[in-house]
């Protein structure tokens, strides 16, 4: 009897939870026929690396379905001579220096900080580059900029470039946000795409090859098997590894696509809590007032819940939490339906509501918001009290142009 009750309790807290938010995929078999790009490379296309000295651009998220790092899974199948690591390091521990990885004995070259692309010297002993990193699908997530810079170096050094495609954690049919303007380019905004561009890393690499390199890169995208644009990431039952220090869940990634803009304000984006990018608040916020205002927008696929939280310090130096040790009040963005949720518009609604309601709201003094939004227009419109519809309408024409271009690069239907 006690055993039966215990089993029922376990089922209640695990098997019956169907809300997208806060779910880490279980470690079970994948849907029939699904394979990650790296699994297709290893099982069907390893000849692409035959007789090649291989450099792998990867980190702790470059894993197979069962959680094996590609650098371990490829052992004995290809001659890996070098590892190139993005922001946060090869093993996600923020080791961004150059060193010899003690577990593999392979040289690691950091592509973050003062050096963001492989040099010609780095590639002298490399014939082919393999890219395998789990992305989020947002322009300001820096891994796509590392992808771009590595592609650029491969073109200049005439190296083969292989992209192991991976699933999107967000809705691949969702495209939204301002396009990037030249005077706002930075490492959190390098590519001329909207904030949410609706492409896998493989699809994006084809777009980049044509748009920036005139098709000159010797590019091979190793596609996933059994994947569509409507596939939910959590249905794939992949072993979960944080792709970066503050993306704790797939739901963190979904919200991040919009709420990363709060890095450009004095609102806490939830870093230092159990739900980064899902909690938005500050010591000066009245959550009840904020929720009442947000409910007037009738935003789709989301429920706002009142939260009080105290951010803790974290080990990652890239973006330290705001208000460490201080009581914050704000909202929890509880995503109810990823298919209709609009993270960019939701984040804009929260931001303009906070500015309207709370006199202590402010931008970061360095106008970092311009780099995140990709334009000065957003900040200027918010400052002039523009409405949500006025803001989103202002970028719609450019967004439609991008969508028509994007259509040519869609692999998965």
Q: What would the DSSP string read from start to end of 151-216?
A: HHHHHHHT-EEEEE----SS-TT--BSPPPPGGG-BTTB-SSS-SB----HHHHHHHHHHHHHTT-
Residue 398 lies in a domain: no
Residue 2 lies in a domain: no
Structure tokens at 120: 């010609």
Residue 77 lies in a domain: yes
Whether residue 28 has pLDDT greater than 80: no
Verify that 233 and 256 share a domain, yes or no: no
Verify that 127 and 77 share a domain, yes or no: yes
Nearest to residue 51, comparing CAs of 156, 114, 127? 127
Whether residue 14 has pLDDT greater than 50: no
Residue 360 sits in a domain whose CATH number is 3.90.1150.140
Edge-to-edge, what's the strand order for the sheet holding 160-164? Answer: 99-100, 107-110, 79-85, 53-58, 128-132, 160-164, 218-222
Residue 30 lies in a domain: no
Query: Greater confidence, 239 or 6?
Result: 239
Residue 210 lies in a domain: yes
Whether residue 27 has pLDDT greater than 90: no
Residue 392 lies in a domain: no
Verify that 297 and 161 share a domain, yes or no: no
Verify that 228 and 104 share a domain, yes or no: yes
- Work out how many domains the chain is built from and give that number: 2
Instruction: Say which range, 152-156, 253-257, 316-320, 345-349, has the weakest mean pLDDT.
Output: 316-320
Taking the CB of residue 287, how many other CB atoms lie within 10 A of it? 19
Verify that 44 and 147 share a domain, yes or no: yes
Alpha carbons within 13 A on the beta-carbon side of 110: 17
Sorting pLDDT into bands at 50, 70 and 90, what band is 21? low
Q: What is the mean pLDDT of residues 314-326?
A: 88
Residue 69: is it exposed, middle or buried by C-beta count within 10 angstroms (0-12/13-18/19+)?
buried
Verify that 228 and 256 share a domain, yes or no: no
What pLDDT was estimated at residue 303?
99
Verify that 186 and 293 share a domain, yes or no: no
Verify that 168 and 258 share a domain, yes or no: no
Verify that 43 and 113 share a domain, yes or no: yes
**CA–CA gap between residue 292 and residue 354 (Å, rounded):** 12
Verify that 258 and 355 share a domain, yes or no: yes
Residue 130 sits in a domain whose CATH number is 3.40.50.12170
Verify that 76 and 224 share a domain, yes or no: yes
Verify that 46 and 181 share a domain, yes or no: yes
Three-state secondary structure call for residue 305: strand
185, 218, 239 - which closes a domain: 239
What pLDDT was estimated at residue 29?
58
Nearest to residue 29, comparing CAs of 62, 63, 65? 65
Nearest to residue 291, comparing CAs of 253, 346, 342? 346
- Name beta bridge partners: 161: 129, 219
**CA–CA gap between residue 289 and residue 115 (Å, rounded):** 45
Residue 383 lies in a domain: no
**CA–CA gap between residue 9 and residue 108 (Å, rounded):** 46
Question: Domain residues for 288?
Answer: 250-375
């Amino acid at each position: 009897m006690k055993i039966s009750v215990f089993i029922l309790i376990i089922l209640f807290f695990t098997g019956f939870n169907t809300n997208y938010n806060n779910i880490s995929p279980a470690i079970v078999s994948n849907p029939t026929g699904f394979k990650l790009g790296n699994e297709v490379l290893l099982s069907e296309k390893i000849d692409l690396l035959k007789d090649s000295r291989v450099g792998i651009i990867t980190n702790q998220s470059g894993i197979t379905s069962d959680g094996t790092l590609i650098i371990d899974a490829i052992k004995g199948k290809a001659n890996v001579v070098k590892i190139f690591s993005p922001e946060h390091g090869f093993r996600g521990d923020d080791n961004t220096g150059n060193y010899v990885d003690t577990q593999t004995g392979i040289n690691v070259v950091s592509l973050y900080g003062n050096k963001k692309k492989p040099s010609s010297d780095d590639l002298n002993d490399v014939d082919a580059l393999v890219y395998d990193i789990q992305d989020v699908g947002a322009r300001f997530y820096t891994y796509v900029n590392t992808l771009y810079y590595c592609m650029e170096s491969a073109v200049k050094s005439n190296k083969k470039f292989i992209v192991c495609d991976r699933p999107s954690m967000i809705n691949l049919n969702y495209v939204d946000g301002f396009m990037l303007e030249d005077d706002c380019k930075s490492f959190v905004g390098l590519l001329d795409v909207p904030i949410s561009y609706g492409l896998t890393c493989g699809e994006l690499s084809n777009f980049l090859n044509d748009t920036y390199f005139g098709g000159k890169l010797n590019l091979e995208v190793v596609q996933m098997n059994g994947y569509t644009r409507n596939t939910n990431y959590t249905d794939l039952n992949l072993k979960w590894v944080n792709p970066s220090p503050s993306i704790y869940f797939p739901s963190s990634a979904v919200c991040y696509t919009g709420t990363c803009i709060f890095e450009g304000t004095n609102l806490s984006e939830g870093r230092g809590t159990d739900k980064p990018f899902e909690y938005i608040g500050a010591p000066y916020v009245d959550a009840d007032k904020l929720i009442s205002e947000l409910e007037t927008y009738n935003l789709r696929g989301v429920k706002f819940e009142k939260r009080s939280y105290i951010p803790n310090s974290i080990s990652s130096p890239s973006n330290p939490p705001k208000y460490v040790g201080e009581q914050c009040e704000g909202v929890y963005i509880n995503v109810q339906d990823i298919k209709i949720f609009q993270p960019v518009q939701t984040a804009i609604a929260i931001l303009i509501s906070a500015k309207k309601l709370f006199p202590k709201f402010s931008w970061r003094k360095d106008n970092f918001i311009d780099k995140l939004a990709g334009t000065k227009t957003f900040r200027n419109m918010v400052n002039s009290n523009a409405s949500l519809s006025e803001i989103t309408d202002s970028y719609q024409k450019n967004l439609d142009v991008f969508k028509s271009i994007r259509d040519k690069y869609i692999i998965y239907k």
